[in-house]
Amino acid sequence: MKKISAVLIGLAMLLVFQVGSVFADSKLDGVISDLIGTPYVTAGTTTKGFDCSGFTMYVFNKLGVSIPHASRSQAGLGKKVAQSDLIAGDLVFFNTNGKGISHVGIYVGDGKFAHAASKGVRISALSESYYATRYITARRVMSQNTFEKYADDPSDETDGGGDSN
């Protein structure tokens, strides 16, 4: 019985680590990596500069998903997700001004999220005291199938849509 339990635990751990590695080297990671360090610009939506929702809108557009340019509007999209159930690609929302949702980022795994902050596009930890005390909610905008279609394989651009991006 102990051997069976050990094998099952080992398989479960392998599955957990394998699922987590699905997102490594994804198109999502590639798009975000290319934007790290881009400056913060109020109302910015281009690689010349982003605000928080302009950044998320730009990244999702690169993945073939259209979302509006406002963190409050983005917070109404998709399905609510518990913080303990976050997966790469989920949107995370914060109250940074005391008036409700005012900041958004993209969860990238390992307790971290990418966002356009005052010092530019960066990766921060949800556990940082500033963000931990201001965290409000998360939304899953992409279904797992959509994520796999657009974000899993960075070399898979075979949608036949003739993208002009």
CA 34 to chain centroid, in Å, comes to 14
Residue that is written with structure tokens 């008036």 in the block = 99
Burial class (CB in 10 A: 0-12, 13-18, 19+), 149: middle
The active-site residue, picked from 35, 52, 65, 151, is 52
Q: Establish whether 69 is a catalytic residue.
A: no
The active-site residue, picked from 62, 112, 115, 122, is 115
The active-site residue, picked from 27, 62, 103, 139, is 103
CA 160 to chain centroid, in Å, comes to 25
Residues labelled as active-site residues: 52, 103, 115
